């Protein structure tokens, strides 16, 4: 029986390994993590992450050929294939701070693999890492001193949170990069055979190591770029009376452009886009390509601009101040169908509103009060080195309310800001909401999901991204 171990039981490691276990019943899959809370969650009825369809997959394989454990060393030692899916956040201090990937977790995982291995292993980069990371990993592993041989593969993950299970079941592609030596290619074949159980052969792409590592950074940069491009156009729409939905539809019909990822919004979030572009920027700088670095940096610049533009619109529409006014925030997760709030635009928007002394009341179906408080805590933002083109607001010092339904958040509020495109926000009873709000009542739709005309008929003043403004 092939034994797989995955280091890191997070948003990627957990779902990815659950699907491998489901599709390969003859393979033993153990997901290990240093976080006892995470592992306890995976072994409980309430999984530590919310992802549609995941409960069902885990329920089918857990205890059969899928296991979750904190005994990292034991299961890494026993495995034939070790996936490393640890976090690779942006460095916060030292060389490359604010841009470079922090590979501390990766390096400690690699050193641990070297320490505990007694048999040859394939080590798979599942985390998103800077191009050339495999070279560094090879150096660390080469010093295990026991003659154990390793093959490093790059197998970046392209799943999107909120659709992770579907993305894993039917991936657009699986990418495997390996050394071009016979040993490297043999390792590529082993991993390819795992995916080939359910992924059609023509969707499994094999490349050299550096292409695979760079492809993941480039893919995220391109996706984020599309959002920043349409958001940049949305600002021009508002200035001119054009409608961004109509513009996006028109350009998306061009088969060279395509319709997906062209929705204007309050901005992108999530743990990956910003950090991966910053990483790309840093790599370009390191390779002496400052112009290329500047090009990609601007994708983040427009995203920051979009968030501050939204806050400015809220404040200016509400007669230039929100001081003492209750503002209901609907949606705090960075997108629908996830409880993940990492880098969510809601953090900057809420901070901006609080900076103008608004009283903020937040409702999100999957986000806990504890998450909101942690995310809005002062020390998460480096006010001495703001990334923003235009910093939005000051650190939070007022209490923030987190409610268990949208109407409670909106009671006595002057405005509702929709920041996540949860389906349930499309079908709220906006008349009921209007009746319990202060007047004039505003809706600021940061995801363009409500029917603005219907809301105007009720009596709301409505702002939607990239749409003609209320007179
Ligand atoms: P995560 O923070 O949810 O999970 C990482 C886990 O690794 C944590 O539970 C942490 O405790 C564990 N860990 C760290 N060091 C460890 C060690 N030495 N031993 C054992 N466990 C350790 O992160 P994530 O969202 O799953 O992302 C993981 C990687 O995948 C990142 O590089 C990310 O960029 C990439 N990625 C993320 C997504 C996404 O949508 N979240 C998509 C594609 C790729």
**Would residue 471 count as lying in a domain?**
no
pLDDT in the model for residue 381: 41
- Beta-bridged to residue 124, according to DSSP, are 83, 153
Catalytic residue among 6, 61, 237, 272: 272
Does residue 453 belong to any structural domain of this protein?
Answer: yes
* Residue 176 domain flag: yes
Answer yes or no: is the C-beta of 38 below 6 A from any ligand 1 atom.
Answer: yes
pLDDT tens, position by position, 236-264: 999 999 999 999 999 999 999 999 999 99
DSSP 261-304: T----S---SSSHHHHHHHHHHHHHHTT-HHHHHHHHHHHHHHH
- What Å distances lie between residue 223 and 24, 86, 273, 282, 449, CA to CA? 31, 22, 8, 19, 21
Choosing from 136, 171, 199, the residue where a domain stops is 199
**Residue where a domain terminates, one of 168, 199, 230:** 199
Number of domains the chain is built from:
2
DSSP type of residue 34: S
**Percentage, residues of the chain above pLDDT 90:** 93
Residue 470 lies in a domain: no
Q: Tens of pLDDT along 357-402?
A: 999 999 999 999 999 999 998 544 443 343 433 334 444 455 799 9
Nearest atom in ligand 1 to 128's CA: 32
| Co-location of 160 and 235 in the same domain | no
The verdict on the CB of residue 108 being under 6 Å from ligand 1 is yes
User: Residues 51, 338: contact at Cβ < 8 Å?
Assistant: yes
- Asked whether residue 119 carries a pLDDT value surpassing 70, the answer given is yes
187 shares its domain with 226 = no
Distance of CA 313 from the midpoint of ligand 1 (Å): 36
Asked if residue 211 is part of any domain, the answer here is: no
Do residues 100 and 243 both lie within one domain?
Answer: no
Query: Based on the domain organization, do 60 and 154 belong to the same domain?
Result: yes
Give residue-wise pLDDT tens across range 164-205: 999 999 999 999 999 999 999 999 999 999 999 999 999 999
Q: Are residues 32 and 156 in the same domain?
A: yes
Which stretches does DSSP call E strand in 187-346? 204-208, 326-330
> Measured in angstroms, how far is the CA atom of residue 452 from the centroid of ligand 1?
39
Both tokens of 384, joined, read 């001495």
Q: What is the pTM of this model?
A: 0.94
Ligand-binding annotation for 352, yes or no, is: no
Residues in contact with 200: Cβ distance below 8 Å, sequence separation at least 6, in sequence order: none
Instruction: For ligand 1, pick from 87, 156, 213 the residue to mutate: most ligand atoms within 8 Å of CB.
Output: 87
* Sheet strands side by side (includes 359-363): 401-402, 359-363, 326-330, 415-418, 442-445, 461-464
pLDDT tens digits, 90-106 = 999 999 999 999 999 99
Instruction: Clarify whether residues 233 and 194 are in a common domain.
Output: no
Percent of the chain with pLDDT over 70: 95
Strand, helix or coil at 210?
helix
- pLDDT for position 316: 97
CB < 8 Å & 24+ apart, contacts of 383-390? 385/98, 387/98, 387/300, 387/304, 388/304, 388/307, 388/308, 388/348, 389/301, 389/304, 389/305, 389/308, 390/304, 390/305, 390/308
Confidence of residue 471 (pLDDT cuts 50, 70, 90): low
Instruction: Identify the pLDDT of residue 387.
Output: 40
Host domain of residue 274: 219-464
Mean pLDDT of 26-42: 98
Enumerate the β-bridge partners of residue 338.
none
Q: Does residue 308 lie within any of the structural domains?
A: yes
46-61: average pLDDT: 97
The reply to whether 314 sits in an annotated binding site is no
The per-residue pLDDT for 398 is: 56
Report the pLDDT averaged over residues 207-220: 98
- Is 272 among the catalytic positions? yes
Q: Of 332, 314, 319, 320, give the one whose Cα is nearest residue 415.
A: 314
CA distance 381 to 396: 11
Pocket-testing residue among 116, 271, 335, ligand 1, by greatest number of atoms within 8 A of Cβ: 271
| Cα(4)–Cα(195) distance, integer angstroms | 13
Task: State the Cα–Cα distance between residues 22 and 10, nearest whole angstrom.
Answer: 18
Judge if the beta carbon of residue 343 lies within 6 A of ligand 1: no
Which phi and psi angles does 72 have, rounded to 5°?
-60, -50
Summarize the confidence of residues 1-20 as an average pLDDT.
Answer: 97
Average pLDDT for 437-450:
98
Neighbours of 163 (CB within 10 A): 16
Ligand 1 centroid, distance to 256 Cα (angstroms): 34
Are 238 and 349 part of one and the same domain? Answer: yes
CA-wise closest residue to 156 among 129, 193, 178, 183: 129
Based on the fold, state whether residues 188 and 223 are members of the same structural domain: no
Residue 439: per-residue pLDDT: 98
Q: Residue 418 pairs with which residues in a beta bridge? A: 330, 445
CA–CA gap between residue 85 and residue 6 (Å, rounded): 7
pLDDT score at 144: 74
User: Residue 388: what pLDDT?
Assistant: 37
pLDDT at 415 over 80: yes
Q: Is the Cβ atom of 295 under 6 angstroms away from ligand 1?
A: no
Top mutation candidate among 33, 173, 220 for ligand 1, by most atoms within 8 Å of CB: 33
Q: What is the CATH number of the domain that holds 428?
A: 3.40.50.720
Does residue 228 share a domain with residue 104? no
Structure tokens, 396: 């939070």
272 labeled part of a ligand binding site: yes
Residue 214 lies in a domain: no
| Domain C-terminal end among 133, 167, 199 | 199
Ligand 1 pocket, 361 CB below 6 A? no
pLDDT in tens, 268-319: 999 999 999 999 999 999 999 999 999 999 999 999 999 999 999 999 999 9
- How far is the C-alpha of 262 from the C-alpha of 284, rounded, in Å? 27
- Tell me, yes or no, whether 194 and 285 share the same domain: no
How close is the Cα of 105 to the center of ligand 1, in Å? 9
Please check whether residues 147 and 51 belong to one and the same domain.
Answer: yes
Expressed in angstroms and rounded, the spacing between residue 280 Cα and the centre of ligand 1 is 19
Q: Is the residue at 255 inside a domain?
A: yes
Together in a domain, 62 and 180:
yes
- Average pLDDT in the 216-233 region? 98
pLDDT of amino acid 53: 98
């Amino acid at each position: 029986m092939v034994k797989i171990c995955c280091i890191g039981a997070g948003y990627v490691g957990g779902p990815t390994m659950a699907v491998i276990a489901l599709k390969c019943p003859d393979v033993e899959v153990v997901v290990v993590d240093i976080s006892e809370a995470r592992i306890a969650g995976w072994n409980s009825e309430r999984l530590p992450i919310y992802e549609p369809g995941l409960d069902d997959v885990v329920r089918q394989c857990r205890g059969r050929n899928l296991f979750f454990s904190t005994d990292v060393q034991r299961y890494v030692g026993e495995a034939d294939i070790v996936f490393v899916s640890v976090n690779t956040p942006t460095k916060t201090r030292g060389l490359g701070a604010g841009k470079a990937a922090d590979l501390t977790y990766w390096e400690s995982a690699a050193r641990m693999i070297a320490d505990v291995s007694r048999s040859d292993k394939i080590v798979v980069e599942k985390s998103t890492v800077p191009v050339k990371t495999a070279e560094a990993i090879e150096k660390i592993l080469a010093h295990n001193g026991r003659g154990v041989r390793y093959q490093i593969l790059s197998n970046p993950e392209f799943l999107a949170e909120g659709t992770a299970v579907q993305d894993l079941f039917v991936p657009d592609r699986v990418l495997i990069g390996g050394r071009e030596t016979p040993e490297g290619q043999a390792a590529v074949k082993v991993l390819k055979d795992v995916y080939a159980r359910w992924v059609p052969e023509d969707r499994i792409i094999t490349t050299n190591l550096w292409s695979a590592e760079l492809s993941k950074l480039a893919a995220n940069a391109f996706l984020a770029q599309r959002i920043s491009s349409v958001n940049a156009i949305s600002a021009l729409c508002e200035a001119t009376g054009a409608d961004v939905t109509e513009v996006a539809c028109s350009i998306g019909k061009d088969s060279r452009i395509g319709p997906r990822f062209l929705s204007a919004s309050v901005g992108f979030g999530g743990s990956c886009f910003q950090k991966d572009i910053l990483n790309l920027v840093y790599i370009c700088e390191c390779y002496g390509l400052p112009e290329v670095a500047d090009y990609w940096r601007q994708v983040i610049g427009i995203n920051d601009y979009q968030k501050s533009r939204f806050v400015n619109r809220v404040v200016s529409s509400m007669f230039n101040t929100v001081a003492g006014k209750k503002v209901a925030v609907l949606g705090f997760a960075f997108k629908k169908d996830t409880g993940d709030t990492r880098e969510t635009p809601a953090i900057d928007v809420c901070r901006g509103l609080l900076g103008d002394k608004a009283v903020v009341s937040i409702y999100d179906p999957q986000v806990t009060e504890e998450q909101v408080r942690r995310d809005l805590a002062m020390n998460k933002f480096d006010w001495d080195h703001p990334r923003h083109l235009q910093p939005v607001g000051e650190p939070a010092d007022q209490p923030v309310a987190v409610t268990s339904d949208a109407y409670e958040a909106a009671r006595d509020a002057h405005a509702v800001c929709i920041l996540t495109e949860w389906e349930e926000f499309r079908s709220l009873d906006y008349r009921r909401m209007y009746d319990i709000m202060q007047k004039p009542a505003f809706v600021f739709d940061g995801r363009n999901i409500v029917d603005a005309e219907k809301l105007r008929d009720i009596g709301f003043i409505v702002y939607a991204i990239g749409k003609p403004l209320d007179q």
